[in-house]
Each structure stands twice: as structure tokens, then as C-alpha cells.
Amino acid sequence: MIERICGICSHAHTTCYTQAVEEALKVDLPPRAKYIRTVVAELERIHNHYFWLGILAHEIGFDTLFMYTWRDREIVMNLLELISGNRVQYAMNIIGGVRRDIMPSLSSEIMKGVKILAERMTYYKKVCLDEKTILARCVNVGVLKAKDAISLCAVGPTLRASNVRRDVRADDPYAAYDEIPFHVVTYDGCDVASRIATRCDEVLESVKIIRYALEHLPTGSIEVIVSRVVPSAETIARVEAPRGENIHYLRSNGTDKPARYKVRAPTLANLPALCRMLIGGYVADIPVVIAGIDPCFCCMDRLAFADTNTDKTWSWEGERLRKYGVKWYKKK
Amino acid sequence: MVQEEIVRIFQILFFPGFLFLVLAAFFYEWVDRKFVARLQNRLGPLHTGPMGLLQPFADFLKLLSKEDIVPGAADRLFFSAVPIFMLSLPLTALFCIPIISSVALVSFEGDLIFVIFVTTLFVISVFIGAWSSTNRFSTVGGMRACLQMLGYAVPMTVAMIGPAIVAKTLSISRIVQWQTTGLWFVLTQPLGFAIVAICFLAELQKIPFDIPKAETELVAGWLTEFGGKKLALLKLAEDLNFVLAGSIMASLYLGGASGFWFAPPFVWFIIKLTVCTLILSNLRALFARFRIDQLMRGVWKYLTPLALLQIILVELIPW
Amino acid sequence: MISVSMEKELVKHLVRKAATLRYPFDKFPPVEGLRGKHVWDREKCVGCGLCARDCPSSAIEMIGKGLTAELKINLGRCLFCGQCEDGCPREAIKLTQVYELAESDRKKLVLEFKREST
């Protein structure tokens, strides 16, 4: 169910959830499961960054690049389909491991696909950093200085493009990231152009991670059997989703259902920074800057009511919202 | 005498008049869409007609059958008049372009200036349409269209005068006739040709200059409130404008409708027009959208001086 | 001011085959292991109800218990995660590679598996 939070980072959210539950259960994953999780997570990152590049190209009116990146995105989606059996909702994570194994034949298939993806991304990076019309729209647009980025709690590539070396994969390694060597990509342009460069380089870095992980894939089982009932505990899990840091909070009460669960998706964390970036820009820059943080609006759905006459704000409980919805539809 | 009159009426109504021009507009919309799709590794229109050839016409019919909505706050008179006005503008201008022979349907000394004037009027009607629809996206789009025109109109006019100076006439038909004896102007004035191509991209509001309609910023820009029949007419007007742009380029710089080798002038005109539209479509696929201030800066800093330079070159080197 | 770095690529693509599939006429062959529509083997099912209990979105409803149990799967709620397939002790429930499941009526999305073949 958790993976329906977001269509693009479905693996990151499930990884986060399973980590929270595994911590509560105090189980250790078999190394093979960890590596497979890492491979899928990195493929997902490639998928997301290709997707994002296309969106940004569309926002600045460069539809050709949009078509090309989305066409090449098919490659990574097909790979994920081969691995997990679905193109978007991978459902690879289960509590205590992963659902499907990566066979050697599949692994060579992934290597092949990843090679094409890396070549294409190198090309797109060249295009983006050469093409004057793209640069005209991106350089010095949506500037977020490193100091502001930290004080406004930006996360993910948005933060790293402001030259802050912070990545959950490196700072608080989960899955197999503590065993795999990789670079944290940072750029110091602080603008949309350096966000493009950061994400392009992250794709290339992900390709390296996938290659390393597949070459060093440990043998062994891919899951451990866990009990259905989770003892009462309170855990927080962090995962570096493609868009930034994902935080899941879990409180269990000794049954098989969580007592409280809270998700903080990366887009929500990037919103204050977004407000800062927009100050002093042009109207025409607004879509570019908003797309620049790679927003996922369903990830950050929060509902609040505001009465503009009295300046009062309040929020509704889920149950009340449901009742309102039922009433509204009946009236229709 | 009577026969001549009949031929003339036939020419105005059917070929190369209204009917032909409207069909050409649909055809070149298809060319544009198909070509850009192929450049982007897509298929483009496919199902209506052979290779989707009838798709623009099908779109037109579909829009005609839609509900016609006028926003409550809109200025009804202008809002309804603008589409008709806009459709008539490029049609009028196209009568001045020689299509089947080197003499146009309507030809008089100074019709080049008239055509330039009509392209400018097109923007004015865009502004009126945007203003009368009272939508904030439309208003911003209309303002941008006007600003954009202030930018591109000057270099475009200056560059288009280049051929006129050499041919010593302000009539498009005469310029075409001049080129049957002399060299094509694209060979002697390549700079002017490039400037006119870029300016026409801006005039047609195509990427990279689709600033007045930037879909990710302004929904549909000045078109936002238009729907149904009005939108159909506006789309047709835009297609006609596309044909107009292509045929001005073909006539001024590529020799237009002049007989050559085996084929009659008309065939050559169509070939040249297709080449020009393909150039415009290709440019459309090549760039990202500019911002309005960047466009203005670029146009005034580079295009206008270059256009003036072209005129000076024309004066210095008499071809 | 303007560079044309993409032009070569554009021309290259002009002669290449388009990437688009003419979908209703040409289809991608579904890959092995695609998680699509369910099938149920009534011979194997013992009606333990694990699938219904495990289903994260409560898409599966088991009517009755034991060897006479019948299954109702609401594809509108299903996540196609494959938990029912993995959890079934007798491999009675399976996901096939059928992926074109869109319907215009919600009621048609409910798969009803009956003991007696009618």
C-alpha cells in the first residue's frame, strides 16, 4: 500500500517502510536482498531523473528533448518490468527481504540497458550544457544559496546543486550503500542549470552503482521469514529517494497493524526553499523553478482550510473529510 | 470579356483563391506536424486519411461542432469579431503572393508594404482578442504578443526591404519576376533570409518564440478563452499565416512562382513553399523557449543591427 | 547567440523508425513475470483465507470457508503486488500476463470465481 504514495519513487517509499518495520522487528536482511534493493533503487533513480529532465525540457518549451528523454525512459522501465513484473509499481520490497531474485541472465540484460542509458545521458548532459536556449532559461534562475538551502531544510539534488554534500546514502547508509563505493555529486551553481547537471551526473553515478552491485552480488537467500506481529516500538527510517530524503515514522502497538504512521516526502521539505527561489524571478521562470525541485504534489498533499476574512486556519480529520466527500457526491 | 471575368472569379474563389489557400493551410499544418513528429522520433497524425493527411481538417470539423462559449465578462462584439477578422487578414495578404504565375491575383506597386502591414495587424487583432476575453492569462499573452511584435517587426521589415532595393520595386510580383533573370536572393542575401526566417518564427508564435502562448506558463496564452467555432477559425487563421510566412520567404528569396526547366511555375512554388515550411518546422524542433526579455534583448542587440548590415551590404555590392 | 547542437541528432532521427507503437494494432509482448489478471485453481484451493487476509488493499474476499470457499477479487482495488500469489500455500492463485483490464463499468472489474463451472 505504501508504494501508492508516489508513482515515481514507489521503491523508495516501500524501502523506507520496510526499513522502519524491520527495525521494529529487529531483523537483519540477507546481503543478497540488500543488493537487489539497491539495484532497484538506483534503476528507479535513473527512471526518475530521465522523467524529470523531460518535464523540465517541456517547461522551457523544448519538446524535442522531452520526447527523446521519455523515449529513453522506456528502456529503464522495461528493465524494471523484467526485474519486478511491473513498470511503475515494482512491489519488490517485502518485510524481511525482496520478492524476486535477479538471475544471471537478467543481470546481463540490465548491464546492456544501463550502458545505453549512460551513453544517452552523457549526450543529454552535453546538449543541456551546450544549447544556448536552454542555458538562457536555466543559468541564474531560481538561485538558492548554500546557506539558505541548509536553513530552509532543502533535500536531495536541490540541496546538492547548492553545493552541500549531503546524501542519506552516504551519511546514514542503508541497504547495501555502505559496501558500494560511490560519489556524492555536488555542483556550486545553485541554479536550475546546476540542478540539471547534478541529476545528469547522478544518473551516471547510479549506473556505476548498479554495475558494481551486479558484479558483486552476494549469494544466499533473498528474504528472511518474519513474524506477522510487530512488537510495540517507535522507529524512524530514512531513505534517499530520487527526489531527496524520505522520512517515515512508525509506532507499533504489538499487533499486525501500525498504531501511527507518518510519511514526510521530499517535496514537502523542498517547499520552503522553493518559496525562496521564486523571489525576484520572472513570471516566465515560475514553471521552470517549480519543476527544478522535481515536485511531486501528491507526495505532499496536506489539507488545511483558511478563511481569508478572519485569517483563521484549521484542518479536518480524515473521517470528517470522508463524510464531506460522501455528502458532496450524493448532492451531485 | 465575359470569359475573362469568369476565369477571374474562378481564380478568386477556387484556385488559387480561397479554397486552394484553405486546403493549403490544412496541408501545411499536416506537413508541420508530421515533420516535427518525425524529427522527434514519433509517428505524428496517422489515422484520418492516408498517413493522417486529413487530421487537421478533422480537427477543424471537430472544433466547429463544439459548444460556442463567450465568457460573461468578455466584450462580446470584439470577442466574436476577432476570429473572423483574423482569418481574413492572412487570406487577403496571400492574394498578393504570386502562386500560379509570376503575377499575383492582386498586384500593385507597394504590395510588399501592404503584406508587412497585414502581418502587423494580425498581432493587433491578437491583442484585441486577448483584451476582450478579459482572462488574465489572455491579457498577459496579448501583452507579450505586442511586446514581441515591437521586437521582431523592425528587423523583419528592414530585411525584407533588401530584395526590394535590388529589384528596385516594392511589388512582390515584380521581385519574383526580377529573380527569373537574376540570381535568387537567398544566394546574394543569405543573412536577410535567416533574419526573416527567425522573425517569422516569432510572428507565427512558434517555439522558440511561442512566448505569447507558452503553454506551461499561460495555459494557451491569448487563445485561452476561445473555444468551439472561434477556436477553429483562429487555428485556421494561424495555419494560413504559416502558409503566408512560407510563401513570402519563397517569393522574396527563392524566386517564388517562376517557371524553370520542365515544370510550370505553380509546381515550383509548391516545392519552394514546402522547403520554407520545413525550415520553419525544423527550427521549431531545435530550440527551447526564450523569455520575453531575452527575446527583446536578442532581437534589438543582434537581429536589428544584422538586418541593417544586410541593407548596407546590398548597397555596397550591387547584384 | 544561438547554437544548433541538436541538429545532427534531429536529422539522424528523421530517417530512423519512430519509437511509437501503434498501440491497439501493435502490442508489446508482455514480459515473463508480468503481474496481471488473476486466475484461480479451484482444485488446489483449500480455502485457508490467507490471500484475503494478506491483501494490502482488501481486494480479495473469500466467501465461505474450507474446501467450499469461493473467491471474489475486485480488480479496481487490486494493487497487483503479487502478495496473494506469494502467500498462497497451495499455489492456487496466480497472476497472469493479461494486462488490458480497463472496463467502463465498475461492476465488471470484480472477478468472481465459482466452485461450479457454469
Question: How high is the pLDDT of residue A4?
Answer: 62
Strands (E), chain A: 93-94, 97-98, 233-241, 244-252, 258-264, 305-307, 312-314
Give A100's pLDDT tier (boundaries 50, 70, 90).
confident
Residues B282/B157, Cβ–Cβ less than 8 Å: no
Whether A148 shows a pLDDT value over 60: the answer reads: yes
User: What is the total count of domains within chain A?
Assistant: 1
CA distance A130 to A120: 15
Domain-located, residue A30: yes
Residues C96/C39, Cβ–Cβ less than 8 Å: yes
Residue A140: give the domain boundaries: 2-292
Query: What domains can be seen in chain C, in order of their start residue?
Result: 27-113 (3.30.70.3270)
Domain-located, residue A322: no
Residues A246/A238, Cβ–Cβ less than 8 Å: yes
Residues of B in contact with A65 (CB under 8 A): 288
Q: Best interface-test mutation with C: which of B35, B36, B43 has the largest number of C CBs within 10 A?
A: B43
Q: Is A59 on the interface with B (CB under 8 A)?
A: yes
Residues of A in contact with C6 (CB under 8 A): 64-65, 127, 131
Of all residues in chain B, the one with the smallest CA distance to C12 is B39
Work out how many CB contacts closer than 8 A connect A with C: 55
Regions of chain B short of the pLDDT cut 70: 1, 102, 215-216, 257, 259-263, 318-319
SS3 A24: helix
Whether A213 shows a pLDDT value over 50: the answer reads: yes
Amino acid at B48: T
Residues of B in contact with A60 (CB under 8 A): 288-289
Nearest to A131 among C6, C35, C80 (CB): C6
Do residue C18 and residue B282 have CB atoms under 8 angstroms apart? no
Of A158, A174, A295, residue with least CA distance to A236: A174
CA distance B16 to A57: 41
Nearest to B285 among A64, A131, A136 (CB): A64
Whether C18 shows a pLDDT value over 50: the answer reads: yes
The residue whose grid cell reads 477543424 is B60
Residue-wise pLDDT for A21-30, tens only, equals 888 888 888 8
Residues of B in contact with C18 (CB under 8 A): 37-38, 41-43
Domain-located, residue A150: yes
Q: Looking at per-residue confidence, does A153 or A309 come out higher?
A: A153
Residues of B in contact with A136 (CB under 8 A): 288, 290-291, 294
Residues of B in contact with A120 (CB under 8 A): none
CA distance A79 to A107: 10
Residues A46/A197, Cβ–Cβ less than 8 Å: no
Whether C117 shows a pLDDT value over 60: the answer reads: no
Residues B205/B199, Cβ–Cβ less than 8 Å: no
Whether C2 shows a pLDDT value over 60: the answer reads: no
* Percentage of the residues of chain A whose pLDDT score is greater than 70: 91
Domain-located, residue A315: no
Q: Is A283 on the interface with B (CB under 8 A)?
A: yes
Q: Is A136 on the interface with B (CB under 8 A)?
A: yes
Give C4's pLDDT tier (boundaries 50, 70, 90).
low
Domain-located, residue A140: yes
Residue-wise pLDDT for C36-89, tens only, equals 788 888 778 887 877 887 787 778 888 877 777 778 888 877 878 777 887 788
Question: How high is the pLDDT of residue C1?
Answer: 42
Q: Where are the domains of chain B?
A: 23-316
Mean pLDDT across chain C? 75
- The CATH code of the domain that includes A250 is 1.10.645.10
Of B105, B121, B152, residue with least CA distance to B247: B105
Give strand pairing partners of B200.
none
- The Cβ of residue B18 has, within 10 Å, a number of other Cβ atoms equal to 14
- Count how many residues are written for chain B: 319
Domain-located, residue A317: no
Question: How high is the pLDDT of residue A308?
Answer: 65
Q: Looking at per-residue confidence, does A300 or B70 come out higher?
A: B70
- Is the ipTM, as predicted for this complex, more than 0.85? no
Per-residue pLDDT, averaged over A274-301, amounts to 77
Domain-located, residue A136: yes
CA distance B213 to B141: 6
Instruction: Kindly state the cell numbers that stand for B218.
Output: 499561460
Kindly report the nearest CA distance between residue B40 and chain A, in angstroms: 5
Question: How high is the pLDDT of residue C118?
Answer: 45
